Homo-oligomer: A and B are copies of this chain.
Amino acid sequence: MSALWQRRPVGIVGLGLIGGSLGLDLLARGAEVRALVHRQATAERARERGLVSQVSTDPSLLQDCGLVLLALPLDRLLDPEPSLLAALPPDAVITDVGSVKGPVVAAWETLLGPEGSRRFVGSHPMAGTALSGVEAGVADLFRGRPWVVTPSVGTDPEAVEAVRQLAEALGSLWIRCDASDHDRAVALISHLPVLVSAALLLGADRGAAAGAGGEPGSGDHDSREPSDLPDLMRALASSGFADTSRVGGGNPELGTWMARWNREALLDALAHYRRALDGLERAVLEQNWSELHSQLSSSQQLRPAFLQAPLPPVQG
Contact = CB atoms under 8 A, between A and B. Distances in A.
Interface in A192-236: 192-208, 210-211, 217, 221, 224, 226-229, 231-236
Contacts of A292: 255-256, 259-260
A243 interface: yes
A308 interface: yes
Nearest to A315: B226
Nearest to A305: B221
A57 interface: no
Contact of A235 (B173, B211, B233, B305): B173
A54 interface: no
A1 interface: no
A190 B241 contact: yes
Contact of A305 (B178, B207, B234): B234
Nearest to A302: B201
Given A175-B235, A293-B253, A224 B306 contact: no
Contacts of A175: 232, 235-236
Contact of A270 (B240, B249, B281): B281
Q: How many copies does the complex hold?
A: 2
28 contacts: A146-B236, A148-B236, A173-B235, A177-B227, A189-B240, A190-B238, A192-B200, A192-B204, A192-B207, A193-B244, A195-B280, A198-B276, A198-B280, A199-B277, A202-B279, A202-B295, A202-B299, A210-B272, A234-B306, A235-B310, A236-B310, A244-B244, A246-B303, A256-B289, A256-B293, A267-B281, A267-B285, A274-B277
Interface of A: 126, 145-146, 148, 173, 175, 177-178, 181-182, 184-190, 192-208, 210-211, 217, 221, 224, 226-229, 231-238, 240-253, 255-256, 259-260, 263, 266-270, 272-277, 279-281, 283-285, 287, 289, 292-293, 295-300, 302-308, 310-311, 314-316
